[in-house]
C-alpha cells in the first residue's frame, strides 16, 4: 500500500483532484493532441496579447508570426512580458534554471502551472513505475529540501567527483535505500552500471529508471539495462517548463507532450523542419500565465521522427543535450551540473560559459546584464577552486558577448583539454 499517496489523496483532496483531472487530460489526448492543442493555443495567445505589454506591441496574432523568444530577450524585457505588477512577483512561486545555453534565470509561475507539472511527472513517471510517494533515489546537484524529501519519499544522491570511491559509496547507498525507482543523469548512472558489470556488484529490486538532463546513448541504455535489470526511460524536461516528452515502448524515440504545450522544431529561418531533420526546440507553454512563453527557445536541438496532424509527435535525438565532461586537476571527472548550479542565484547574469583548456587551466566567462555595473563573483571563483582543486588556475572573466559555434549552438561547458588528447 502506498501510504503517502493515500495520505495526499485524503489530506489534500482538492489538490489531488486537480492533479488527477490534468493527468486524465494528458492521458486522453497524448496520442491525438491536435484538437486540444489548437483550442489551448488560441486561448493562450489571446490571453498573452490582452495581458502582456510585450506581446501587445508585437502586433501579431498567428503563432507563425511570433518571433522566437530567447532567455536573453526574456530577461531584458521581463517587466513588459509579465502579466502582474512586478512588485507582486514575490507572491508567486518560482523556479531557477541555467538551461542548455548557460543562462541563469528565475521563472515565476502560478499554482495552476505547478499542478500541471505534477500531472506531467505523474503521467510520464508511471511509464517507469513512478507514482506519488514511490520510494526513489534522485541524483541531483542541488541541495535538497529535507521536508520535501520526507513528503515525496525521496533519497538524494549528490553527484560531484565521479571517481571509484564515489561510485562504490553510491552503490552502497542504493543497496541500503532499496529504491523502487532511480532518477538520474544518464552519464552518472552509466558509470555506476559499468562498475557493477565489471565487479559483479548486484543491485536488486529497482522497478524503474528515469534519466534526465542529458541525452542517453544506446551504449549507456544497454549498460544500465544489463546492470539494473530494467530499461531506463529518458525524460525530456526543463525546470521552467515541465515534461516535454518521454521515451515510451522500446527504443530511443520520445513521445512529445503537445497537450500542455505547442512544441515546434524549427530551422534557422524559424520554419518547421521536415521529418528526420534537426532543428531548435521552441515551446509555447499554455500554462505560463505569469511569464507568458510563446515560441520560447529551450536551447536544445532535436531530430523530428514523425509528425501527426501537423504537430511534432515523436523525436528521436536531443543533440543540444550532449554536455561535455570536465575534470579536476587530478583527472577526476565531474558532472557538469556541479558547475551549472554555481550561478543559479545570480539574477544579473545573462549567460555563462565554462572552458577547460588543460589539466589545471580553466576559464569562467560571465555575461552580466550590465558589464560596467555588476555584483562581485568572488564566491564563484572560490567555489570553483574547491571543486577543481586548490592547484587549479582559473580565469574569471566578465565579457560583453559569448560567441556561438558554427552550428549555432552556444554550449555552456567546453572541454578543449580532452579533445586534444
Phi, psi of 282, deg, nearest 5 = -125, 130
Comparing 189 with 147, the larger pLDDT belongs to: 189
Q: Find the mean pLDDT for residues 153-168.
A: 85
Structure confidence at residue 140 as a pLDDT band (50, 70, 90): confident
How many residues appear in the chain? 421
Helix, strand, coil in percent for the chain, rounding step 5: 40, 25, 35
What pLDDT score does 10 carry? 67
DSSP letter at 198 equals H
What pLDDT score does 245 carry? 96
pLDDT over threshold 90, residue 170: yes
- Tell me the C-alpha distance between 23 and 28, whole Å: 9
pLDDT over threshold 60, residue 394: yes
What pLDDT score does 145 carry? 76
- Tell me the C-alpha distance between 314 and 257, whole Å: 9
Q: Find the mean pLDDT for residues 185-198.
A: 88
pLDDT over threshold 70, residue 410: no
The string of pLDDT tens digits covering residues 115-126 is 999 999 999 999
Structure confidence at residue 128 as a pLDDT band (50, 70, 90): very high
Q: Find the mean pLDDT for residues 142-146.
A: 72
Q: Find the mean pLDDT for residues 3-30.
A: 85
CB 98 within 8 A of CB 238: no
CB 316 within 8 A of CB 215: no
Comparing 158 with 250, the larger pLDDT belongs to: 158
What pLDDT score does 61 carry? 86
Q: Find the mean pLDDT for residues 380-408.
A: 83
User: Cell for 222?
Assistant: 544497454
Q: Find the mean pLDDT for residues 289-294.
A: 96
Q: What percent of the chain has pLDDT over 70?
A: 91
- Tell me the C-alpha distance between 402 and 37, whole Å: 36
User: Cell for 258?
Assistant: 503537445
Q: Find the mean pLDDT for residues 78-85.
A: 94
DSSP letter at 127 equals G
Q: Does the structural domain 116-237 have CATH classification 3.40.50.980?
A: yes
Best mean pLDDT range from 22-36, 163-177, 350-364: 22-36
| CATH fold of 326-419 | GMP Synthetase; Chain A, domain 3 (3.30.300)
Residues 6 or more apart from 13 whose CB is under 8 A from it?
none
- Tell me the C-alpha distance between 346 and 75, whole Å: 13
268 CB-side CA count, 13 A = 4
Residues 6 or more apart from 101 whose CB is under 8 A from it?
71, 299, 351, 410, 412
The string of pLDDT tens digits covering residues 355-384 is 999 999 999 998 887 788 888 888 899 999
Here the contacts of 118-121 (C-beta below 8 Å, separation 24 or greater) are 118/19, 118/22, 119/19, 119/20, 119/22, 119/23, 119/25, 119/26, 120/26, 120/237, 120/242, 120/243, 120/257, 120/260, 121/242, 121/243
- Tell me the C-alpha distance between 253 and 194, whole Å: 24
Buried b (16+ CB within 10 A) or exposed e, 327-346: bbbeebbbbbbbbbbbbbeb
- Cα dihedral 399, 405, 410, 416 sign: negative
Residues 6 or more apart from 29 whose CB is under 8 A from it?
35, 36, 259
Q: Where do the structural domains in the chain lie, given as residue ranges? A: 31-108+253-321, 116-237, 326-419
Structure confidence at residue 62 as a pLDDT band (50, 70, 90): very high
- Tell me the C-alpha distance between 348 and 325, whole Å: 26
What pLDDT score does 176 carry? 95
What pLDDT score does 52 carry? 97
Q: Find the mean pLDDT for residues 84-99.
A: 81
pLDDT over threshold 90, residue 151: no
CB 417 within 8 A of CB 358: yes
- Tell me the C-alpha distance between 263 and 280, whole Å: 10
Q: What percent of the chain has pLDDT over 90?
A: 54
Q: What is the pTM of this model?
A: 0.79
The string of pLDDT tens digits covering residues 209-264 is 999 887 887 888 998 999 999 999 999 998 889 999 999 877 778 999 999 999 99
Amino acid at each position: 500500500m502506498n501510504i503517502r499517496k493515500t495520505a495526499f489523496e485524503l489530506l489534500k483532496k482538492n489538490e489531488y483532484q486537480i492533479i488527477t483531472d490534468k493527468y486524465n487530460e494528458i492521458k486522453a489526448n497524448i496520442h491525438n493532441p491536435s484538437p486540444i492543442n489548437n483550442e489551448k493555443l488560441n486561448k493562450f495567445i489571446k490571453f498573452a496579447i490582452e495581458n502582456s505589454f510585450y506581446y501587445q506591441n508585437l502586433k501579431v496574432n498567428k503563432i507563425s508570426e511570433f518571433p522566437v523568444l530567447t532567455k536573453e530577450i526574456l530577461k531584458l524585457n521581463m517587466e513588459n512580458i509579465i502579466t502582474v505588477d512586478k512588485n507582486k512577483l514575490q507572491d508567486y512561486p518560482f523556479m531557477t534554471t541555467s538551461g542548455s545555453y548557460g543562462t541563469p534565470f528565475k521563472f515565476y509561475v502560478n499554482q495552476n502551472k505547478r499542478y500541471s507539472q505534477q500531472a506531467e511527472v505523474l503521467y510520464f513517471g508511471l511509464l517507469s513505475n513512478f507514482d506519488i510517494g514511490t520510494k526513489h533515489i534522485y541524483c541531483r546537484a542541488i541541495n535538497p529540501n529535507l521536508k520535501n524529501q520526507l513528503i515525496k519519499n525521496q533519497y538524494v544522491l549528490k553527484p560531484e567527483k565521479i571517481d571509484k570511491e564515489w561510485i562504490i559509496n553510491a552503490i552502497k547507498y542504493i543497496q541500503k535505500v532499496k529504491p523502487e525507482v532511480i532518477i538520474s543523469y544518464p552519464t552518472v548512472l552509466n558509470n555506476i552500471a559499468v562498475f557493477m558489470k565489471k565487479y559483479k556488484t548486484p543491485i536488486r529490486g529497482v522497478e524503474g529508471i528515469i534519466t534526465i538532463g542529458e541525452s542517453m546513448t544506446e551504449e549507456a541504455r544497454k549498460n544500465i539495462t544489463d546492470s539494473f535489470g530494467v530499461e531506463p526511460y529518458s525524460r525530456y524536461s526543463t525546470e521552467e517548463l515541465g515534461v516535454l516528452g518521454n521515451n515510451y515502448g522500446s527504443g530511443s524515440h520520445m513521445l512529445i507532450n503537445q497537450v500542455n504545450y505547442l512544441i515546434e522544431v524549427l530551422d534557422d529561418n524559424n520554419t518547421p523542419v521536415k521529418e528526420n531533420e534537426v532543428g531548435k526546440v521552441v515551446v509555447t507553454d499554455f500554462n505560463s500565465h505569469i511569464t507568458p512563453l510563446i515560441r520560447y527557445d529551450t536551447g536544445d536541438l532535436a531530430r523530428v521522427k514523425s509528425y501527426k496532424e501537423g504537430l511534432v509527435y515523436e523525436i528521436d535525438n536531443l543533440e543540444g543535450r550532449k554536455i561535455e565532461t570536465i575534470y579536476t586537476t587530478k583527472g577526476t571527472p565531474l558532472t557538469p551540473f556541479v558547475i551549472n548550479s554555481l550561478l543559479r542565484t545570480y539574477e544579473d547574469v545573462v549567460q555563462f560559459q565554462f572552458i577547460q583548456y588543460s589539466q589545471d587551466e580553466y576559464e569562467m566567462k560571465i555575461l552580466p546584464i550590465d558589464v560596467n555595473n555588476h555584483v562581485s563573483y568572488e564566491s564563484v571563483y572560490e567555489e570553483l577552486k574547491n571543486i577543481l582543486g586548490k592547484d587549479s588556475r582559473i580565469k574569471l572573466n566578465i565579457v560583453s558577448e559569448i560567441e556561438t559555434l558554427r552550428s549555432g549552438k552556444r554550449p555552456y561547458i567546453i572541454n578543449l583539454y580532452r579533445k586534444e588528447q
